Copies of this chain bind each other. A is one copy, B any other.
Amino acid sequence: MLILMKPEATEADIAEVMGVIQSLGFAGHRIPGAQRIAIGITGNQGAIDPAHFVRVGGVAEAVAVSKPFKLVSREVKVEDTAITLQAAGGAAAQFGGGRFAVIAGPCAVENRDQLLITADAVKAGGATVLRGGAFKPRTSPYAFQGMKEEGLKLLAEARARTALPVVTEVVDTRDIELVAEYADMVQIGARNMQNFALLEAAGSLRKPVMLKRGLSATIQEFLMAAEYVVKNGNYQVLLCERGIRTFETMTRNTLDLGSIPLIKRLTHLPIIIDPSHGTGDWRSVPALARAAVAVGADGLMVEVHPDPAKALSDGPQSLTPPKFAEMMVEVRAVARAVGLEA
């Protein structure tokens, strides 16, 4: 159930609605919009009688929400949610609301030189957010697991140097405070998309969360995972499509660009594309980056490494800095063609 308030509704009206919701034993969520306030109701199993609300002052309408995801739904909030990141002294990067931003950097933070060289290079190429993994979820326990806190400190140094905001992954609830202290946006990776304890913890952060689609997550499960974060109070969720698992093995994953227009109809949250994981081959990354812009995504996340052959993870899918710069030229041309402001 969604209560749409009139534009002229007062704080007292809103408080009255909240009181009715509480008296019914449910939870009310205030959802600010451009024109007016809406109030989402959760905690109910079945339908709620709209009669409870229609006589309260300031209420325009009480609307039943048909999808299992509620707070992330377009039914509840018609306007796009935009997410803005900005580091001290730097430019703002905006995802959604008609603007487009590019996250780039190494898969993993490997050492100071590798990170700073890459950070300088992606900034020069046109990226407005820096990525780099300090905690790495790896299929093998014998593979490089990341530099952990040391890596976070290097990311902070790279941010201070380049004025690029940073996004980095968290893999365990025990580390989330630490990661959030260093990161401008906290990433929850594909393998943790249904780590519900981690989602709930991310919902308590006061920083944006980037949520990657799980390898075999349906669109509905993906949006339900975002709902976990939003339900806990954090409305700043950036979705990321990074390819799903199918029978095809010649590409690392199957990038599901066909889902983007559908997802944009279903939710107000912004969504970006990761063509690096989506294809697993740097030679295919620029083409898919162009396609991502053309299909209507709100941004990109791309892996860049100064020496991919020596990368400790994901070398085959990492662009060199010159290839990244070339890609950005192509991406900007397509963005102009579809009327996006990069």
Contact = CB atoms under 8 A, between A and B. Distances in A.
Interface of A: 42-45, 68, 70, 137-142, 171-174, 191-192, 194-198, 200, 214-216, 218-221, 224, 227-228, 231, 243-251, 253-262, 265, 275, 278-279, 281, 283-284, 287-288, 290-296, 330, 333-334, 336-338
Given A194-B137, A244-B254, A330 B338 contact: yes
Nearest to A286: B261
A197 B220 contact: no
Contact of A221 (B43, B139, B292): B139
A220 B250 contact: yes
B334 A294 contact: yes
Nearest to A139: B224
Nearest to A260: B287
Given A337-B334, A337-B337, A196 B138 contact: yes
B248 A219 contact: yes
Contact of A288 (B138, B251, B257): B257
Contacts of A245: 216, 247
Contact of A294 (B137, B219, B248, B294): B294
Top-3 shortest CB links A-B: A216-B216, A172-B197, A294-B294
Contacts of A216: 214-216, 245, 247
Contacts of A261: 279, 283-284, 287-288
A239 B140 CA distance: 17
Nearest to A287: B261
Given A140-B68, A224-B140, A246 B254 contact: yes
- Name the residue in A70, A137, A262, A295 with the highest tally of chain B Cβ atoms < 10 Å from its Cβ: A295
B141 A231 contact: yes
B258 A142 contact: no
Nearest to A171: B197
Given A137-B194, A258-B284, A258-B288, 4 more contacts: A141-B196, A141-B227, A173-B174, A247-B247
Contacts of A137: 194, 196
Contacts of A142: 42-45, 68, 70, 231
A317 to B, nearest CB: 12
Given A194-B139, A287-B296, A256 B248 contact: yes
Nearest to A229: B141
Nearest to A43: B142
Given A191-B195, A197-B174, A254 B254 contact: yes
**Best-surrounded residue of A142, A284, A336 (most CB of chain B within 10 A):** A142
Nearest to A312: B45
Contact of A257 (B244, B249, B255, B265): B255
Nearest to A199: B141
Given A140-B224, A142-B42, A218-B248, A338 B258 contact: no
